[in-house]
């Protein structure tokens, strides 16, 4: 299980949304739910509340759940009245059919046990309820994508097997598609962001997948990555203005699973 003890306080320093994005995500989710403010929403993997705070502020029926106490503590500090639960997503402490809509935002790519997670999500969902999956998508050949791909290659040369987050996510989405009556996609928000190689390295250093590696491996990998980035971009502080979007995939689940 990821360890957020040290990363939780700075999580949004590197991963916050621009103003209005969280509200736009909420608006799209609410539209999917028929604009019913009384719809019972469970946010699995709520984290520090980057998205959930917009639901709480609007007075929606919202419960944020996360396995990390530290992440939820950050949520609570920003939203004192938030209804939050610490629990494993594959063992949800709720009765069958308790929610009208379950959100999985930026969750599936890191969920190694995605099948158990999705089965329990469907269990706590009312018949014909909604599962809303969301993720941030950047340019395919943007600086972040190139840095990430090159770092994966460096680690592979050092004997560290590459993670398969996209494969996990695709498999999970295929499973949801198989149990859904209907499915649709939406782009909830788009925005411009300045990216630099240095920014990628600072953000990636705080990621749990990277932090579990031995420190000497982390340092050697980053030295090689920095050298490559300086040769490729001219400077670690070269600025690239890029377009990002937040995509939603909305599944209406047939009956119970």
Q: Note the pLDDT tens digit of each residue in 46-67.
A: 999 999 999 999 999 999 999 9
Tell me the C-alpha distance between 42 and 50, whole Å.
14
In the chain, what percentage of residues exceed pLDDT 70? 96
Min mean pLDDT across 62-66, 134-138, 143-147, 253-257 is at 253-257
Is 156 among the domain residues? no
Residue 50 region by backbone torsions, left for phi larger than 0, else alpha for psi between -120 and 50, else beta: alpha
Is 1 among the domain residues? no
Tokens representing 161 are: 């097997």
Question: Residue 28's CB: how many other CB atoms inside 10 A?
Answer: 19
Is 143 among the domain residues? no
Tell me the C-alpha distance between 9 and 56, whole Å.
20
Helix (H) or strand (E) holding 62: strand 62-66
Task: Kindly give the pairing relationship between strand 62-66 and strand 240-253.
Answer: unpaired
Q: Is the Cβ–Cβ distance between 155 and 149 less than 8 Å?
A: no
Is 100 among the domain residues? yes
Range of the domain at 172: 8-138+164-194+241-253
Question: What is the pLDDT confidence band of residue 3, given thresholds at 50, 70 and 90?
Answer: very low
Tell me the C-alpha distance between 128 and 1, whole Å.
31
pLDDT at 257: 43
What are the pLDDT digits (tens) for 26-51? Answer: 999 999 888 777 899 999 999 999 99
Is 123 among the domain residues? yes
Q: What is the CATH number of the domain that holds 176?
A: 3.40.50.150
pTM score, whole prediction? 0.90
Question: What is the pLDDT confidence band of residue 7, given thresholds at 50, 70 and 90?
Answer: low
Q: Phi and psi of 129, rounded to 5°? A: -75, 175
Is 29 among the domain residues? yes
Average pLDDT of the residues in 10-30: 89
Q: Is the Cβ–Cβ distance between 38 and 17 less than 8 Å?
A: no
Is 132 among the domain residues? yes
Is 83 among the domain residues? yes
Counted domains in the chain: 1
pLDDT at 173: 94
């Amino acid at each position: 299980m990821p360890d957020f003890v040290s990363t939780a306080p700075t999580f949004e320093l590197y991963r916050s949304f621009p103003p209005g994005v969280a509200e736009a995500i909420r608006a799209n989710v609410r539209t999917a739910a028929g604009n019913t403010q009384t719809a019972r929403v469970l946010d699995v993997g709520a984290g520090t509340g980057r998205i959930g705070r917009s639901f709480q502020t609007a007075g929606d029926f919202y419960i944020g759940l996360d396995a990390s106490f530290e992440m939820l503590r950050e949520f609570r500090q920003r939203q004192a009245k938030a209804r939050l639960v610490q629990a494993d997503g594959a063992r949800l402490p709720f009765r069958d059919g308790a929610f009208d809509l379950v959100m999985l935002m930026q969750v599936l790519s890191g969920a190694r046990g995605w099948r158990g997670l999705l089965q329990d999500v469907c269990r706590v969902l009312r018949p014909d309820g909604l599962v809303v999956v969301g993720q941030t998508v950047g340019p395919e050949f943007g600086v972040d994508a190139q840095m990430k791909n090159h770092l994966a290659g460096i680690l592979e040369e050092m004997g560290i097997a590459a993670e398969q987050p996209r494969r996990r996510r695709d498999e999970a989405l295929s499973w949801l598609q198989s149990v859904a009556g209907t499915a649709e996609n939406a782009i909830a928000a788009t925005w411009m962001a300045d990216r630099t190689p240095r920014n990628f390295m600072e953000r990636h250093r705080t990621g749990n997948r990277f932090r579990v590696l031995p420190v000497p491996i982390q340092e050697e990998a980053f030295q090689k990555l920095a050298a490559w980035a300086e040769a490729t971009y001219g400077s670690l502080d070269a600025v690239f203005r890029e377009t990002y979007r937040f995509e939603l995939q909305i599944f209406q689940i047939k009956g119970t699973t």
